[in-house]
Amino acid sequence: MKFIARLYQAWLRRFAPAYYSRIFRILYGSNSVCIGPGLLCDGLPRCLLDSSARLDIGSNVEFRSGVELRIHGNAHLVIEDGVRVDRGVRILVTNGALVRIGAGTRIGLYSVINGGASIDIGHKSLISGFVYLQSSMHSFSNSNTAISDQGYKHAPVILKEGVWLGSHVVIMPGRTVGAYAVVGSNAVVTKDVAPGAVVGGVPASQLNSERDSTQP
């Protein structure tokens, strides 16, 4: 049994990523799906793509197991070169939105990118596990009506280049996080974050005026 387990582990490390990437290309390759060279998949991503939607995947992109991509209507998802998407990440794009994940970005496990409006993630951003980027929100204007019957509000989310979001961060609709800013773990961003700022808390606020080595 140990020998079989070692063989299986060797297959997972050496052969599975290329195998699953070939299956992904066969299943989803079309005029509306462009997949660059060097794609690696630890497991087969679940991809729900409407006929009018578009998916562009750059070169040397990595998907860990359990990734889900949902692109509805005429929405568009762009994953640029060298992006790594960890296990269990869910990316939803709808309402004609554009979600762009910039080159070299890392997205941690079980994070959610909810693109009811456009979301733009700058290159070399670090997004830790269990982060929620939310460009849609339930409307609330009538206390006598169920929230689920009151529709949605949508506003774009922008992360400039080189940002770092700690684990369990929530970015609310309509917010911009400036270049090279750090958002500490468990923070809820309800206002724009200035470039280079370090913020934390609920709601997130400035922690210090200069960058330091403190982990978010």
Q: Structural domain of residue 30, as residue ranges?
A: 2-206
The pLDDT of residue 14: 64
Contact (CB, 8 A) for 198 and 207: yes
Task: Collect contacts of 196-199 with beta carbons under 8 A, ≥24 apart.
Answer: none
* 151 found inside a domain: yes
Cis omega (within 30 of 0) for bond into 45: no
* 145 found inside a domain: yes
* 48 found inside a domain: yes
What CATH number has the domain bearing residue 43?
A: 2.160.10.10
* 212 found inside a domain: no
The pLDDT of residue 138: 76
- The chain-wide mean pLDDT, for the chain, equals 89
The pLDDT of residue 13: 63
How far is Cα 45 from Cα 8, in angstroms, rounded to an integer? 20
pLDDT in tens, 160-197: 999 999 999 999 999 999 999 999 999 999 999 999 99
* 120 found inside a domain: yes
The pLDDT of residue 31: 76
Whether the per-residue pLDDT at 15 is higher than 70: the answer is no
* 214 found inside a domain: no
Residues forming the active site: 123
153 forms bridges with which residues in the sheet? 137
| Residue % of the chain over a pLDDT of 70 | 89
> What is the domain count for the chain?
1
* 211 found inside a domain: no
Contact (CB, 8 A) for 181 and 193: yes
pLDDT in tens, 59-100: 999 999 999 999 999 999 999 999 999 999 999 999 999 999
* 215 found inside a domain: no
**Do you know the residue count of the chain?**
216
The pLDDT of residue 185: 95
Instruction: Tell me the residue type at 150.
Output: Q
